[in-house]
Amino acid sequence: MIELQDVTRLFGSTRAVDHVSFMVPRGSVFGYIGPNGAGKTTSMRILATLELPTAGDAFIEGLSSVNDPDRVRRRLGFMPDAFGSYSDTNCAEYLDFFARSNGLVGRERTRRIRWVMDFTGLRSMAEKPITGLSKGMRQRLCLGRALIHDPSVLILDEPAAGLDPRARIELRQIIRSLAADGKTILISSHILSELAEMCDRVGIIEQGRLLANDTVAGLKGNSQTHLDLIVVIDGETETAKTILAQCEQVSDVVELNRTLQFRVAGNRQHQIEILHRLCDARVNVLEYRVVDESLEDLFLKVTAGNVQ
């Protein structure tokens, strides 16, 4: 449904996008993450027919954004990181304008406006001026504009930026609902914990180059040459620390309130052997688990913090 093929975009001597390729299948959510200036927005604008690549091509449902932009736009809903509004315009008028711009007429236009307002929770705000909306409601209105012509593909650039916790949760539910209905979604965000919850795959971009493209679980597996474990002890911890110090695979042992955190090199069998040794020494183990890596941890591992 979405495909970038070896896309490059130059601004002078700067490679904003550098030979980026990825695909997003129908009905899935692809999270696009990277630092400011990494090339996320430029990639999205190329897909949305708002920017031409220096080399390569971008496709929506097999149609080239470069060679067939009109047909691409009929299949695509684009939500930019900031959107303009018109003075003295209320929500209903705003959506009606974009419905007409997308060629909707008569009952179909009325039906789509009503559906969008109901789906985004804007029905009670229909007559309210856009300038009087909260940040969360403005984001809902911008999403509604992207949905007004019932596109099969959505590109959302930082839709959760500046939203309060409740608004972010509600937006996440809306996005998952759209994916469940078969829409394909490319979304960028700096709130990585939320992307981990809603995305089927994530792509990590830095200095214009795509460094990773995998599921969150796949990224964890690829990045782990070691595991961090936690063991919670009921009673004294000296015996447990002595046993860990004797294990060649164990390093970086830290104690805090009868909880030991340590790093284990090697495979799952080493984790099992360590637990057996603790139990054989009659250490009262209350909890023994792997420290789960977050998407933020994976992002820091994959990227180097470079900007351009």
Give the pLDDT score at 298: 74
Domain(s) of CATH 3.30.70.980: residues in the chain: 225-292
- Distance from C-alpha of 189 to C-alpha of 209, rounded to nearest angstrom: 17
Three-state SS for 43? helix
Q: Is the CATH code 3.30.70.890 the one for domain 225-292? A: no
Rounded mean pLDDT for each run of 10 residues along the chain, 308 residues in total = 96 94 95 90 96 97 96 95 81 95 94 94 92 88 94 93 84 90 92 81 93 83 71 92 91 90 82 92 92 75 70
Give the pLDDT score at 186: 97
CB 21 within 8 A of CB 7: yes
The DSSP 8-state label assigned to residue 292 in this structure reads: P
Rg of the chain over Cα atoms, rounded to whole angstroms, equals: 24
Give the pLDDT score at 308: 64
| CATH hierarchy code of domain 2-221 | 3.40.50.300
Three-state SS for 246? helix
Residue 30's nearest CA partner among 223, 250, 259, 195 is 195
CB 255 within 8 A of CB 244: no
Give the pLDDT score at 192: 81
Give the pLDDT score at 282: 93
Residue 210's nearest CA partner among 61, 30, 63 is 30
Instruction: Count the residues in the chain.
Output: 308
Token couple for 5 = 């093929």
List strand residue ranges (DSSP E) for 135-215, in order: 153-157, 184-188, 201-206, 209-214
Residue 260's nearest CA partner among 279, 285, 282 is 285
Give the pLDDT score at 36: 85
Token couple for 137 = 């409601």
The model scores a pTM over 0.95: no
Domain(s) of CATH 3.40.50.300: residues in the chain: 2-221
